[in-house]
Structures are given as C-alpha cells and as structure tokens.
Chain A
Amino acid sequence: MKKIVSLSMLASAILFADSDLDQLKLQIQQLQEKVQNIEKQNAQKEQASIDAKVANDTSSSFSQAAYLPDIGLVLDMSALSRNIDNTAYLTQAMPGFLQSDPNGDFPFNKDNGFNLNYAEVSMHSVVDPYFDVFAVFHIHPTAIEVEEAYVRTRALPYSLLVKAGKFKSDFGRINAKHQHSWAFSSQPLIYAGLFGPDGISDPGVQLQWIAPTNTYLMAGVEAMQGTNTQSFGNVERNNLYIGYLKSSVDLTDDISVLGGISGVTGKNPNGNTNVYGADLTVRAELGNYSSLVWQSEYLKRDMDNNMTSGLTKDKQAGVYSELIYNIDENWATGARYDRIVQNDVGDMSLYAPAGVNTNNLDRTTVMLQYKPFEFSRLRLEYTDDRSKIIDGQRKNIQEVMLNLTIEAGSHGAHAY
C-alpha cells in the first residue's frame, strides 16, 4: 500500500515536473524571441543612425571650445569738470619731472566733459602643465596697446616662479596694479613723474622666490628692456635691472602689514638712473566688508644729467600716503596726499620759465565710492593738484570727477 502511494506520488511528481519543464521551455523560447527582436531592433536603429550620420555629419571632430581662454572686459569712463580748459591742460608741465608736451600721453580723464578712458580686454589661459598665459589689450579711443602679454611657470620647484614677456614690474607697491584697481583714478605724483602712466612696464623676464618660512618673505629680480624714456630710454642694449624684497606679517588675525623695498638701475641717454623705493601697507579688518587700509610709498631717483658743471646728477624724491575706509559692501571713502620732497635738478628751465616758483609740489585727492555690485563701481573724486605749470605759469588744477568702471566676463579676483 505504502509502496503504491509513494510510487504514484513519484510518478505524479515526474509528470508535474514534465509539464513544468515544458512551461520553462516555452518561457525560454519566448525570451529568446524577445531578445532576438530587441537585437534586431537595435541593429536596425544602429544602422539607421549610421545612415543618418554618414549622410549628414554635423558634429565637429576638432572643436576646441572647451579650451577657450577666460576673457574679461574692463570699461572705464568719466564725467569731469576742471578749472582749466582742455587745450591749456595739455600744456602742463611738472617741474623737474615732466616737460610741457601738448602731444604727450594723457590716457586717463583728459577732457573737461566726458571721457571714455579705455576698454580693456584681458585673456587668461592655462597653456599646458608648465605655463599659464595672460594678456591685456588696452584699447584707447585712438590706439590699441598690448599692455601686458606674458607667460608664467606653474610647476617650478623650490618655490620659484619665472615670468617672461611684456609685463608690469613688481617694483614697489602700486606699479604692477592696473589702473582700474587703484583706489584713485590718478597715478601717485611720484610715479607719474618718474615713470609716466604705464609705470615700469617692458618686455623682460622675472624670477621670484618665496622663502620657506612661516612669515611671508618674497625676493624677486627682473631684467627688462628699459624703453621708459622718463627715467631710462637708452635702448642700444637692454638696460634695466630691478630687485625687490617683500614681507608681510599679521599683527593679529585682523591686522596685516605688508612692507617692501625695491631698487632699479638703468641707463638714460646721459648716463645712469637709479630709483629706490620703500612701501608700507597696513590693513585692519573692522568687520565683514569693512576695513581700513593705509598705504604709503616713498620713491627716490638719482639720474645723471647732461650738465658738465654744477649739478651733474638730478636728485629727486616723492611720497604718497593714502587712507581708504571700506565702510560696507557698497560704500568706501578715502583720501590721498602726494608730495615731492626733493627736487634738485641741473636745469629747471626745461620745465618752467625763470622766475616761476617750482617749489612745494603737492596734491590732495579725496573720493567717495559706491559699488552697486562687485563688478561695477561709481566713484566721485575731487582733486586739488598744486604741482603743475600751465601755459608757463604755476597754476593749481582743481577737478571734480564722476568715474564709472565695470568689470565684465571672467575677470580675475584682485590681489591684496
């Protein structure tokens, strides 16, 4: 009895298993058909896409859009009112420094009325693992100038950096900064007097090194062409050599000090020119977006002149000191005082007729600035300039200016 039962159970199990097996077979068959269908469809799709692509291939094999350099645009313009007419303004001379030259270079805020100072196009790109490239095309209403175009190394060992091309020297504190990042629209008097509107800016090479110390200490040397005729300009050979040392300490978390000493030696048509500089910046953070920045520089020039007797070396020096109060995200105000502290030159008659007072050259500038946003700036600036000869007479220049500067596109952040 038991046997029969178990036997029949076995038989039925096999029977069921048989029908299970059939069902599985059927399912496999259906799945195979599905897979075949999908494969067929895929093949058709692939063929169709190949057909379409071959017939009309619009994708580019050589697109380099992803490698486009960062491009920025800076626009600077002003509305200005001055107590000197435009023609007379062009005759200005600065005793001991700048001779009257109506065809001279007045790149910023030249006219009573409205000025478009420049549109500046900057480009930056990583060239390869070893170089960055940076270029600034300074576009005046009448000329296009390569203001800077240089490469700098990315991967030198021992904290070294090499820069080559045309660039603004890191001499002093303000020389390497572009006009739109200055706290005032005008250049410090002593810079304008010694180097003119572009500062020390020439083709050349630069080597900088940061010491492996906890305190920031940077040393740099540069060799440049020396085309700047105001102090150098004897370019039968390259003639300009520059060296500087900069260091910074944080007195507290919120008070930082940056100091530097700089020297440059070059050749002018009459002999040698040496310029020495010392600068000091103290910055106190008063809170978020609020700070007090005090920046001062002293520059001294010894320059061989063409006098055969008497004073054979012009000795001149000047300082500026500025205090900027950044009130909040939007507002800032500040004042600057400029003064020529030494002005011993062999031939003052180059700059002013005999009898005209050429002492006490100084200037006061105050400003109030509003930035609606990070990338736009309105600045109201008042200048009282007591350092100029106009139409052969010592005359003070007073001006009020409203200056608008915008930075659009991929404009890099400003340094300290």
Chain B
Amino acid sequence: MKKILLSVLMATAVFANIQVDTTYATFGEIVKKVGGDKVDVVVLGASKYDPHFITPKPSLLAKLRNADLLVINGAGLEIGWLPPLIKSANNANIQSGAKGFLDISHFIPLIDKPTTVSRGFGDIHAEGNPHYITDPHMVPTIAKVIAKKLSMIDEANAGKYNTNLAKFLKEWDVYLKNFDAKMLTCKDKKVIQYHELFNYFLKEYGFTSYGNIEPLPGVSPSSKHTIETLNTMEKNGVKIILQDVYHERKTADFIAAKSGARVVILPHEMGAVSGTDTLETFYGDIASQICK
C-alpha cells in the first residue's frame, strides 16, 4: 500500500507540469508555443482591460500562489497592480529577482526613454515605452527568452522546449516574411493614437505618429488639446486615428467627424477585440486595420 502511494506521489512529481503565470495574454500564448504540453499557463490580466490598471482581485493571489514561473511585461506596465499581489501571494519562487521571475522588458531594446522623469509629464515610464508587444518582430526574442527560462526551471524537459522553440521560430519567420510583404503595400503612413500603444509597430513599419488624443500619458483629453490635435492633423493630412478598446471613444469620434479621418480600433493584446485569439490574427488584425 505504502509502495503504491509512494509511486503515485513520485509519478505526480515527475509528470507534474510547471505552472507559468503571465500578466497578459500574448505572453501566455508564446509560453504555450514554447512550453507545449509541459506547462500550464495562467493569464492574470484580461485583454479587454487597460494593462496599466488590472483590478488586483484576491482570486489572483490563488493563481500566483502556485506559480513556478511568473512572466511579466516590465518597464513599469504592471506597477499599478502587480506588486501588492506578489507581496501577498506568499510564493518565494516568483519574488522579483528569484529564479521563477522573468521580466521580458530586460531583453527588449526599449524606445522613447525619457531624458527627464517627472510625473509633471503624466504617467511616463522611466524605462521607456513598455508597449513592445504590438510589434510582431519582438515575438522571436520573447520566445527565446522564455525557452531559456523554462529550460533552467525544468531542466528535464529542456530538449523539448528547444525543439518547440525551433519549430515556432521557423513558423514565425515565414509568417513575418508574409507580414512584412503585406505591410509594404501600405500607403498612408500618418496616424495619431489615443495612448502610445503602437509606437514599436509604427517604428518597425515606417509610420509617423503626429500626436496622442490624451494630452499626457494617463491624463484624460481636454478640449484645448483636442483642438491642437485637429490642427496638427489638418496641417499634415493625417487620416488615421488609432484607438484602443479600453479608453473612451467620444474624443476619437469627434476628431474623426471634424477631420474626416477614420477611427480604427486596434487590439493592444491578443484577444482584446473579437477574432484575435491567436498570435497570427492579433498582429494580422492590427496590420489589416491600419492598412485598410
């Protein structure tokens, strides 16, 4: 009897998947690609919400309590909600600096790093723009970093992770070639945004952003700033307004009506708008909506 129990215990220990928590859905999907059937993925923040302000529900503590690895976006994106959860989840694995904590932003060349940092400029991120996930060219780096981390945490399956990674990188390379070719057909490259969510994508494909609907990051639109934005758009012939799913739409619609520009509602994360539940459709949706 004892032997059976022991072997059952050992079996669960050997075959137990590792639990990987990610703060947002796109990271979760990449972990699934690399981890395959060896990992269980838990996504903490729903894609329909502002990634800066996820409600720190206590149920998230139960999800963090059991995690072997926590993958975060970093660059300050989670600072408004995640630290108290990490503090109260009583999980030594995932404390900042522990083996099971992975901040992807440390591996990404961040852009828009402010030279001076003050909240007088709004909710700026001292480390640079944290929204690198909107650029499909970041995916290979993210996948490589995750594969390396998974291999360190779960050495027994390192071979499996590397095989999965190689397969995924190959597929993604093909996808990116197609994607880049399609983006070449894109003609109108002048946009404004609500919040600087798409700077990495815009930079990758040679777009110019002529400003933001919010006067400062995290500050609600003012009529004065909206008039200025309208003037800038008229002067430069900007006809595309990039709107996200979680900010109010009134201002964008107003600007569109006055300027004749079109509002495109883009997903900032996989699954933020319907029909973007895979990596391919997430990036595909951004591309096809901008280049309509």
Contacts and interface: CB of A to CB of B under 8 A. Distances in A.
Contact of B58 (A160, A256, A408, A412): A256
Contacts of A218: 61
A62 interface: no
A46 interface: no
A133 interface: no
11 contacts: A155-B92, A157-B92, A161-B90, A216-B61, A217-B62, A256-B55, A283-B55, A288-B50, A289-B246, A373-B119, A415-B56
A156 to B, nearest CB: 7
A208 B90 CA distance: 8
A327 B79 CA distance: 23
B50 A289 contact: yes
A296 to B, nearest CB: 17
A408 B62 CA distance: 31
Interface of B: 46, 48-50, 53, 55-59, 61-62, 65-66, 79-85, 87-92, 95-98, 119, 122-123, 218-220, 246-248
Pick from B46, B59, B123, B218 the residue with the most CB of A within 10 Å: B59
Interface string A314-334: 000000000000001110000
Pick from A126, A214, A215, A374 the residue with the most CB of B within 10 Å: A374
Contact of B61 (A210, A253, A373, A412): A210
Contacts of B46: 253
Given A248-B61, A373-B122, A416-B56, 15 more contacts: A156-B90, A156-B92, A210-B90, A216-B62, A246-B58, A248-B57, A248-B58, A248-B59, A258-B58, A288-B246, A288-B247, A373-B218, A374-B218, A413-B83, A414-B84
Size bracket, chain A contacts: 35 or more
A144 B48 CA distance: 44
Contact of A413 (B81, B90, B119, B122): B81
Contacts of A154: 92, 95
A355 interface: no
B65 A212 contact: yes
A328 B84 CA distance: 23
Contacts, number: 100
Nearest to B64: A210
Contacts of A212: 65-66
A12 B247 CA distance: 83
Contacts of B219: 372-373
A33 B82 CA distance: 61
Contacts of A182: none
B40 to A, nearest CB: 12
A47 interface: no
Contact of B123 (A289, A291, A374, A413): A374
B90 A213 contact: no
A160 B65 CA distance: 10
B272 to A, nearest CB: 11
Pick from A156, A160, A414, A415 the residue with the most CB of B within 10 Å: A415
